[in-house]
Each structure stands twice: as C-alpha cells, then as structure tokens.
C-alpha cells in the first residue's frame, strides 16, 4: 500500500487478495470496503529494489549477463549458456523451479529480443519459448501495454481502438510516428528484432566465464580448494587458446540457500596461469562459509587483454625475467594485504611536499621523471606536520632552539628558507593566499639529527609565528 497523489492505493496483492477481486492501483478505502479482513502493509520500494538486486546476483548462476528491469523484472542474456542445462526449456524450468522453492512465484519467457521476451513474460502464456522469427505471430494478440510504452501513449492508442500489437503493427509507420511519437515505432522494432536495444547489465557480459555445477553439494575445505583449481584451469585453458590474459578473477560460490560468496583476486600483470590463480585464491577460501553446501561455482575473468606467450627457457633455473619474479610477489602481497598496500612512488608535478609523490602500481612503466635534486627532501615526511616551540630571531631567520616531543634541540646549522606557496589554482584564494605560504628550513642539531621545519605564513610584527616540524632527514 502506498500513497499516490494523496490517495492511499494498493500497490501489490497476494493470490488470496486477487481472488477477492481486488487489484493493484485500487483505492485502499474501496478495497477495505470490499474485503474488511484485508491485511495491508506499507510498500517499501527501497527494500523491494534491494531484493531485486540480490535476486539479480543470484541469477548469475544462470548467466553472467543479468539486467535489472525495475520494479519487478530481470533480463537474463542466455546466449550461449542454455546448452549447459540441455536447452532453453530445461534452463527456464530449472530457474522457475528454483525460484518457486524459495517462495518466489515468477513468470518467464525466452525470446530473441528483450522486448519480445518482456511482452511474452508479462502478457503471454507463461513459459513461452519464441523461436527466432516467431515473435510477430506470438506478439500480435497481446495488448499494446506489452510494448513497455509510457502510460499516456498506451491510453491514447487504446482510445483509437488499436487494442493489440498486431493491429498497431499493421498501421502505416509514418502515421503511427506522427500520432503517438517515435517511441511507439521504436518499441515495435525492438520487440520484433528490427532495432537493437541496449540493456544495462548488472555486470558486464563476458565470454570469460566458467561454471561448475555439482551433483552433490560440497562443503569440505579441501573440496573448495580442489574445485577452485579445476575451474581456474578450465577458464585459463580457454584464455590460453585465445592468447588472452586477465588482471582480475572473480570466484563465486553459490550456496544451496541462494547466498553467493564472492572472492576477488587481482594480478599486477595479465595472467592465465590457472595454478597461480588458484594459489592466490587459497588463503581467501577460509572466509567462505559453505553453509548447507555449495552446488555451483562460477569464475569470471575481468580486464581481459591480449598477452603474448613467452617461450619457456630451457635453463629455467637460470635468470628469470623480471616480470616472472616480481609479478607473482606483487600479486601475493597485494592480494594478502589489500590492493592499495603495494606501490611504487613516482614524481607528481607539484611543489607541495605532500603532493609531490603519487603511488603507482609497482609494475607500471617508469615515466622517467624524478624529483628536483636541487630541493632536498626529508626521508621521513609526516602526514601531518607536528607543532614545535621555537626560539627564532625575527623576521625570517631559522630557529636557534626548538622543542619537539618534549626534547630540546639546539640548532647548529641551517639552510633556507625555501618558500612553498599553496596552489592557488586549486582552492579559493583566501585559503591559499600569501598568509598560507610556508618557509621551510633544513636544520641540524648538536647531535647531527636533521629536521625539516617550516614557519606558517609571513612574519607579522606582534604576532608570534607558528612553527611546525614536517619531516626528518636521515
């Protein structure tokens, strides 16, 4: 039940309510008058949407390409996967049966175009399978509503007596376009396969998809490890024959109760070594909760690109190529510690010390640009400068004495200042003006420890300057 334009209306009904003659869109007061025992609940579209998304994820066991058709439908692109079930009919039967087991009544249809499948699933006979070329015959008796048109267009078409798709399709295209807009003709063409239709898939359809189904559900950790190796070998063999490698592998365990557990590994260089991928998955398998058992495992390769196969050297023990040695190490570390935990520092064109370094993937090619050797930088740079108490002659001499973390340091040598202004082109002027400039000094204390200090802002008579410690030289 939801409030639409100030009126409480029914949005969805169960079978019992339908049998009483109630219908969606009915006013709640009318419904209550007809069936005083009616039990109502507030509609929760957000939860419905979340449930639909979860269902779409669950459907990944049938096809990697699942598109959500809000509010209550799903498109599955089953091109090239139906044979795994022994045909479209068997696949659809399995899908409906599994949904019914989970208490989800559903209608399904198979057709060559999304438009025709939608129309048949919503208004045709449940479970229709339209062979290619049959769409026109099957769609003709269906109401115009089955074309997924805007309600206004549907109402207008119905007023003119064009109640079925067949009658509408028999009209001259030019006059239909003129009267009802281009959308009507486009929807007709899409349903009949004369125009393409792009679906937004929940995840990109990929031919690099492998699936293993088990007669008996598995749950033992050793079995999980073994099927991981099997499915990785399966997919990697296909990648190998096509000369491709992937940078990401997504392994999904589909549990009997419909829960899907996904594991992802990334590779620094595109690879197709099944054994290596399985080894990278191995430590993650501990996190998989098999529940009552796992009946389907799928593996999806992402970021697939061409990889030239290197010939194995005869003297394998000898010098290994850099990619052979470092690549697996980076993969192991990055998958164990997280994707951002392994990097190579590279120069970024900025004077601000914190911004002068960017983190790049460790095996990315080196741009060949370093930092300016004329500007010495500390070995340890604090993310946040630490405040220090300073004795310094004004206006802009380096300090002679400062206290950091409770320890007094007497400065014997100093270099500077190096004035670093804020980047005024990135932020408003008041936050980057001359008052925000920093004067950096390199100082050395009596013991030889070296510090990188700065004074915030310019010297102003009568205002004590603020000093900060930003880094330490070795």
Partner 1 sequence: MSRLARFMAVRAQVAATQGRGGASECVTPFGYARLDRYLPGGGLPLGRWHEVAGEGVEIEIGAAAGAFVAALAAPLAARGAVVWVMRRGDLHAPGLQGLGFPAERLIQVQVRDEAQALSALEDALGSAGVAAAIGEVEGVDLTAGRRLQLACEKQGATGFVLRRRPFGGPARAREEGGALSGSAAATRWLVASAPSAAEAGTSGLGAPRWRVSLERCRGGRPGAWIMEKSDGPYPLRVVADLGDRQLETPQPLRLAG
* Contacting residues toward partner 1, per CB under 8 A: 320, 322, 324-326, 328-330, 332-333, 336-337, 340-347, 353, 356-357, 359, 362, 366, 370-371, 373, 375-383, 405, 407, 412-415, 442, 444, 446-450, 471-474
Alpha helices in 171-220 (DSSP H): 173-180, 182-192
**For partner 1, the closer CB: 93 or 416:** 416
Whole-number minimum distance, CB 447 to partner 1, in Å?
6
Question: Minimum distance from CB of 390 to partner 1 (Å)?
Answer: 18
What's the closest the beta carbon of residue 378 comes to partner 1, in angstroms? 5
State in angstroms the smallest separation of the CB of 267 from partner 1: 15
φ/ψ of 149, rounded to 5, equals -90, 165
Give the separation between CA 201 and CA 205, rounded to whole angstroms: 7
C-alpha separations of 398 from 382, 453, 474 in Å = 20, 9, 20
Least distance from partner 1 to the Cβ atom of residue 226, Å: 25
322-337 helix and 274-281 helix, angle to the nearest 10 degrees: 30
Nearest CB to partner 1, comparing residues 183 and 418: 418
The CB-of-440 to partner 1 minimum distance in angstroms stands at 13
C-alpha torsion angle, residues 376, 379, 381, 386 (rounded to 10): -90
Quick one: CA dihedral 240, 244, 245, 250, positive or negative?
Answer: negative
- Per DSSP, 201 falls in state B
- Rg, C-alpha atoms of the chain: 33
Rounded CA-CA distance 412/404 in Å is 16
Is residue 219 a contact partner of residue 293, using CB atoms and an 8 Å limit?
yes
Between 132 and 373, name the residue whose CB sits nearer to partner 1. 373
- Residue 166 contacts residue 147 (beta carbons within 8 Å): no
Least separation in angstroms between residue 2's CB and partner 1 is: 47
- Least distance (Å) between residue 65 CB and partner 1: 37
Q: Hey, what are 200's tokens?
A: 């937004």
Q: How far is the CB of 431 from partner 1 (least distance, A)?
A: 24
Q: Indicate the residue among 159 and 405 with the shorter CB distance to partner 1.
A: 405
Q: Please name the helix (run of DSSP H) or strand (run of DSSP E) that holds residue 18, with its range, or none.
A: helix 15-19
The CB-of-358 to partner 1 minimum distance in angstroms stands at 10
CA angle 397, 357, 428 (to 5 degrees): 70
Pairing between β-strand 73-76 and β-strand 380-391 as defined by DSSP bridges = unpaired
Nearest residue to 437 via CA among 455, 451, 460, 411: 455
Q: Measured between alpha carbons, how far is residue 314 from residues 54, 273, 277, 321, 330 in Å?
A: 51, 19, 24, 13, 25
Q: Looking at beta carbons only, is 194 or 336 nearer to partner 1?
A: 336
Burial 265-280 (b: 16+ CB within 10 A, else e): bbbbbbbbbbebbbbb
């Amino acid at each position: 039940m939801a409030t639409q334009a100030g009126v409480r209306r029914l949005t969805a009904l169960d079978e019992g309510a339908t049998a009483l003659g109630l219908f969606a869109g009915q006013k709640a007061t009318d419904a209550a008058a007809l069936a005083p025992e009616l039990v109502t609940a507030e509609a929760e579209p957000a939860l419905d949407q979340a449930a639909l998304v979860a269902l779409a994820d669950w459907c990944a066991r049938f096809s990697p390409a699942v598109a959500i058709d809000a509010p209550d439908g799903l498109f599955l692109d089953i091109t090239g996967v139906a044979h795994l079930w022994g045909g479209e009919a068997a696949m659809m039967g399995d899908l409906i049966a599994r949904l019914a087991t989970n208490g989800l009544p559903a209608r399904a249809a198979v057709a060559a175009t999304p438009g025709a499948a939608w129309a048949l699933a919503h208004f045709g006979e449940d479970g229709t399978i339209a062979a290619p070329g049959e769409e026109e015959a099957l769609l003709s008796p269906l109401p115009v509503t089955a074309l997924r048109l805007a309600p206004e267009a549907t109402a207008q078409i119905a007023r003119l007596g064009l109640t079925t798709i067949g009658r509408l399709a028999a009209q001259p295209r030019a006059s239909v376009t003129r009267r009802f807009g281009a959308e009507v003709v486009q929807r007709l063409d899409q349903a009949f396969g004369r125009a393409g239709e792009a679906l937004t898939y929940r995840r990109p359809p990929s031919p690099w998809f492998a699936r293993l189904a088990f007669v008996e559900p598995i749950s033992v950790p050793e079995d999980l490890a073994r099927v991981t190796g099997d499915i990785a070998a399966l997919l990697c063999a296909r990648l190998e024959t096509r000369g491709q490698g992937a940078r990401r592998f997504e392994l999904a365990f589909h549990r009997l109760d419909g829960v899907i557990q996904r594991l992802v590994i990334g590779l620094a260089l595109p690879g197709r070594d099944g054994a290596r991928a399985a080894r990278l998955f191995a430590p993650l398998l501990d996190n998989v909760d098999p529940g009552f058992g796992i009946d389907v495992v799928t593996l999806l390769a992402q970021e697939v690109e061409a990889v030239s196969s290197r010939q194995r050297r005869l003297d394998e023990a000898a010098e290994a190529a850099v990619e052979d040695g470092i690549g697996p190490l980076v993969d192991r570390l990055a998958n164990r510690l997280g994707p951002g935990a392994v990097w190579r520092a590279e120069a970024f064109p900025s004077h601000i010390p914190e911004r002068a370094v960017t983190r790049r993937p460790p095996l990315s090619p080196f741009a060949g640009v370093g930092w300016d050797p004329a500007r010495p930088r500390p070995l340890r740079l604090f993310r946040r400068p630490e405040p220090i108490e300073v004795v310094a002659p004004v206006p802009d001499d380096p300090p002679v004495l400062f206290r950091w973390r409770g320890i007094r340091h007497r400065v014997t040598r100093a270099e500077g200042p190096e004035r670093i202004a804020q980047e005024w082109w990135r932020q408003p002027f008041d936050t980057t003006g001359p008052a925000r400039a920093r004067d950096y000094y390199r100082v050395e204390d009596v013991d030889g420890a070296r510090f990188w200090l700065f004074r915030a802002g310019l010297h102003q008579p009568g205002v004590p300057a603020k000093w900060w410690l930003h880094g330490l030289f070795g």
